[in-house]
Amino acid sequence: MKSLFMAAALAATVTTGVGVALPAAEGAAGSVASTVVLVDGGGDVWTYSDTTIGYTPASRPDADVLRARISLGDHALNIRMSFDNLRRVATQWYRADVRTPDGTFRYVLEAKSGHWAGQMFRDVKGEWEPEASVGYSIDYFGDVVGLRLPYSTLGDPTWVQVRLRNDLGAPGGETFFTDNPSSHGERPSFTGRLGCP
């Protein structure tokens, strides 16, 4: 779990990204969207390390997320991330930070040898604890990761903003690949507000 905590600590820094966000469904003028599609494209993967400061463009696009669809269903927030060449290698983390009127909820889906189907965790007062109420799937053949976060786990919010990021540990455990669907840079940003039903 040490690597989970280290990667989580490095991922906690926030800056504004410049990704392409396409609202897929909006109500009347002035209302907030209920679905957003983030199109990232390929080849914008970065590396970071336990022993260095900052990020470096990756020479190979491991952990490359190409697109994400975030939609608000009747009872849950649904996230679908599409990847280039999703594989069962190293340790993988798929992160979703959800900002609501009551605060920010942090989730991470971890996949690794012996647990390729994944294990879901939630940040509770700085500690990662198993989270059974969140649905998830990792489809290595279809290159898709899905998350379903019931509104009840988010405090039944009136709106949400979502920040996504994924990380892949390189062999040796000191270097990590990272990408996000909200920018071509190394750090993810939150979406605009999405209105809950």
8 φ/ψ angles, rounded to the nearest 5 degrees? -65, -40
Instruction: Determine the pLDDT at residue 32.
Output: 62
- How far does the chain reach from its first CA to its final CA, in angstroms? 36
CATH fold of the domain at 2-195: Immunoglobulin-like (2.60.40)
Instruction: Determine the pLDDT at residue 174.
Output: 83
Q: How far apart are CA 105 and CA 107, in angstroms?
A: 7
Domain borders along the chain are 2-195
Q: What is the mean pLDDT of each run of 10 residues along the chain (197 residues)?
A: 41 34 43 84 87 87 90 97 92 97 98 96 96 97 97 96 94 86 91 93
- Strand pairing partners for 115? 112
Instruction: Determine the pLDDT at residue 85.
Output: 86
User: What token pair was written down for 70?
Assistant: 């975030």
Amino acid at 156: D
Calculate the CA 129 to chain-centre distance.
Answer: 17
